[in-house]
Amino acid sequence: MKHALILPILLPLFTGGLLLVLHQLSLTVKRAISMLACWALLPIAIWLVLLAGDGELRTYALGGWQAPFGIVLVLDRLAALMLLVNAFLAAFALLYACRGDDEQGPNFHTLFQFQLLGINGAFLTGDLFNLFVFFEILLIASYALLLHGNSARQVSAGMHYVVLNLLGSSFFLIGISMLYGLTGTLNMADLAVRVGNADAGRAPLIAAAGFLLLVVFGLKAAMVPLHLWLPKAYATAPASVAALFAIMTKVGIYAILRVFTLIFGSTAGAVANLLDGWLWPLALVTLAIGILGVLAARELRQMLAQLVIVSVGTLLAGIALGSVQGLSAALYYLIHSTMVAGGLFLLADLIVRQRGNEGGRLVLAAALRQPLLLGSLFFFGAISVIGLPPFSGFLGKLMLLRAVEPGYSALALWSIVLIGGLGMVVAMSRAGSLLFWRAAYDPKDESIHAPKSDGLRLLACIALLSCSLLLVILAKPLQTYIQATAAQLLDLAPYRQIVGGGNA
């Protein structure tokens, strides 16, 4: 069916609109509608992954206007994979939210659906300006979701996030319009052709536009030095929103991957492989700073936010390698880090709920109500996120370390990743022992009477964390798919044929 491509955009759009119109309905009905739409994205995404699995590029010309004159959606393996990751994460984040997070303010479900609309659209679009529009949709929904719950801390963290992203949008527009002024097109595939054919005199300007786009996507992806907004924002967001935000940095990573392999990739003439020599040091610095942040964090959710930065650094390192091995390591790590980060944010909320006044601060507090259950989950998540065997983090890091060619770059990456791993072990075990072991058991203490964790909340958290195990069990077929994805990304000829009829 040829309209399948637009379903992941239309479904959240109409659900969001419907929920907005029917806002006076009871919360139960709204939850049911929202859950139904969100879980329906899963089979659609699986279907699209199967469709894309044959390696053909599918395009969908909106309104029947063919590329490069109209806006097209493009489905390749990467887009389908990202849609599936997003659908899976969102399904369980929403399940968690339905147990209370959505009561803290009006229109939570509408915003959640619009957030999904923006994310899915950004993954599917084949047009640079359309990418900007979907970025804005996901951003404005994320502003409101971030401030959901209305505490003063959220307002101050939200201010940084909003102002920085508005500035980023301005940069994005400058970059896009420069590219348009120089090449006369906004379709990514067409841009790839025209940038490749541009005369050398225009190369510096095109390169400038490319680097402006890197700044924008780097800001979204929380690449050092544009990462400062992230820890505060993620640490103050409601748990389900923070879990969904685990994919927001990956939207930036996706955009870097898309734009800099397609438009500024190997066929870009004078600006070919624009990021060579830039992305690699940035990735390593991001990794190192992230690890220092993990060690320095004094609050549980701040620490998890710093772990997100570490994962961004790891992903960028894989992309910077530029080879099929490097890209497939990055993609595997992307799935792993999104799921585990989402699961850990949910787990942190479950822990904080049983800690009374101390909340997430890493100080001595009374014992938890369910130390064994939450402790084992934390142990499981920590091992996975640090990258110790036998979980998916280990496989991802191993793939990355094997992808790098021997030499100085290998020396740098191996030492940062391995020493960083040690740093994360120290930080996580310090946090874990403080949270679960060093607490004094005092029967008169009120936190013993804290309510037990809600069953569905636990289910959502466990489902996301157990993805780590699933990724290991399914490593073989996944690896095949991901390597095909990376190979497809680097083979630009089919993309360039999208323009001018192609297989539209």
Binding site for other proteins (CB under 8 A): 129, 133, 136, 140, 143, 147, 152-153, 155-160, 162-163, 166-167, 169-170, 173-174, 176-178, 180-181, 186
Q: Which is nearer to other proteins, 98 or 219 (CB)?
A: 219
d(CA 275, CA 164): 23
Q: How far is the CB of 119 from other proteins (least distance, A)?
A: 17
The nearer residue to other proteins, 152 or 372, going by C-beta atoms, is 152
Two tokens, residue 126: 């084949």
Q: In angstroms, give the least distance from the CB of 359 to other proteins.
A: 18
Residue that has been written with the tokens 């938890």 in this structure = 368
Query: Minimum CB separation from other proteins for residue 382, in Å?
Result: 31
The H-or-E segment that residue 75 falls in is strand 72-75
Output 129 or 414, the one with its CB closest to other proteins. Answer: 129
User: What is the smallest separation between the CB atom of 282 and other proteins, expressed in angstroms?
Assistant: 23
Q: Which is nearer to other proteins, 136 or 454 (CB)?
A: 136
Q: What gap in Å lies between CA 35 and CA 19, rounded to an integer?
A: 12
- Burial of 317-352, coded b for 16+ CB within 10 Å and e otherwise, reads bbbbbbebbbbbbbbbbbbbbbbbbbbbbbbbbbbb
Q: Which two tokens stand for residue 382?
A: 């920590």
Whole-number minimum distance, CB 118 to other proteins, in Å? 12
Minimum CB separation of residue 166 from other proteins in Å reads 5
Q: Which DSSP category does 225 fall into?
A: T
Q: Which is nearer to other proteins, 163 or 422 (CB)?
A: 163
Give dist(CA 480, CA 126) in Å, integer: 25
For the chain, report the end-to-end CA distance as a whole number of angstroms: 13
Choose between 45 and 176: whose C-beta lies nearer to other proteins. Answer: 176
**Shortest gap between Cβ of 170 and other proteins (angstroms)?**
5
d(CA 298, CA 350): 18
Is 60 or 229 the residue whose CB approaches other proteins more closely? Answer: 229
Rounded CA separation 318/289 (Å): 17
The smaller minimum CB distance to other proteins, of residues 181 and 204, is found at 181
Q: Which residue has the tokens 């949709």?
A: 137
From residue 163, alpha-carbon distances to 133, 222, 485 in Å are: 17, 15, 35
CB nearer to other proteins: give 183 or 354. 183
- Minimum Å gap between C-beta 43 and other proteins is 32
Q: How far is the CB of 220 from other proteins (least distance, A)?
A: 15
The residue among 363, 364, 425 whose CA lies nearest residue 394 is 425
Best CA proximity match to 138, nearest among 75, 86, 212: 86
Report strand pairing: 72-75 vs 58-61: antiparallel
